Amino acid sequence: MNLLRYVLIAAVLSSTASYAMAEVTRIEIATRADVLAGKGFGDTGPYEEIVGKVYYSLDPDNPRNKSIADLDKAPRDAAGRVAFVADLFVLAPKDKSHGNGVALFDVLNRGRKNMLNAFNRSLPSFDPNAPLDLGDGFLMQQGYTLVWVGWQFDLPHRGSLMGLEAPPVLENGKPVVGKVTTTFTPNTNDPTYPLNDVGRYADTTHYPPVDPASPANMLVVRDGFLGAPHVIPRDEWQFARVKDGQIVPDSSAVYLKAGFQPGHFYELSYQATGAVVAGVGLAALRDLASAVKYRQDLPITARYAYAFGPSQDGRLLREFLYEGFNADEQDRRAFDAVMAHIAGAARGGDFNSRFARPNGLGFFVASLFPYLDLDQKDPATGGTDGIETKLTPEQRPKIFYTNSSGE
pLDDT tens for the chain, 407 residues long, are 455 554 555 554 444 332 233 489 999 999 999 999 999 999 999 999 999 999 999 999 999 999 999 999 999 999 999 999 999 999 999 999 999 999 999 999 989 999 999 999 999 888 898 899 999 999 999 999 999 999 999 887 666 889 999 999 999 999 999 999 988 899 999 999 998 764 555 678 889 999 999 999 999 999 988 899 999 999 999 999 999 999 999 999 999 999 999 999 999 999 999 999 999 999 999 999 999 999 999 999 999 999 999 998 999 999 999 999 999 999 999 999 999 999 988 887 789 999 998 877 665 567 789 989 989 999 989 999 999 999 999 999 999 999 988 88
* Integer Cα distance of 390 and 383 in angstroms: 15
What's the rounded Cα separation, in Å, for the pair 225 and 373? 30
Of 56, 44, 105, nearest to 397 by C-alpha is: 105
Residue 407 lies in a domain: no
- When divided into structural domains, the chain yields a total of 2
Domain housing 106: 2-168+278-402
225: in domain: yes
Three-class DSSP category at 14: helix
Same domain for 360 and 253: no
Q: Are residues 136 and 41 in the same domain?
A: yes
DSSP result, 156-211: -S-TT---EEPPBPEETTEE-EEEEEEEE--SS--SEEES--TTSTT--TTS-BS-
pLDDT at 159: 66
Q: Which helix (H) or strand (E) holds 134?
A: helix 131-134
Contact 304, 292 (CB under 8 A): no
Are residues 368 and 284 part of one domain?
Answer: yes
Q: In the prediction, which pLDDT does 201 show?
A: 59
Which residues sit opposite 103 in a β-bridge?
A: 145, 305
In this structure, what CATH number is given to the domain that contains residue 243? 2.60.40
Predicted pLDDT of residue 238: 97
Instruction: Please state, in angstroms and rounded to a whole number, the distance separating the CA atoms of residues 289 and 35.
Output: 23
Residues 35 and 157 placed together within one structural domain of the fold: yes
Structural domain contains residue 84: yes
Contact 277, 309 (CB under 8 A): no
Is 189 contained in some domain?
yes
Are 99 and 22 members of one domain? Answer: yes
The DSSP code for 21 is: -
Same-domain status, 349 and 282: yes
Whole-angstrom distance, CA of residue 16 vs CA of residue 1: 26
Is 201 in the same domain as 134? no
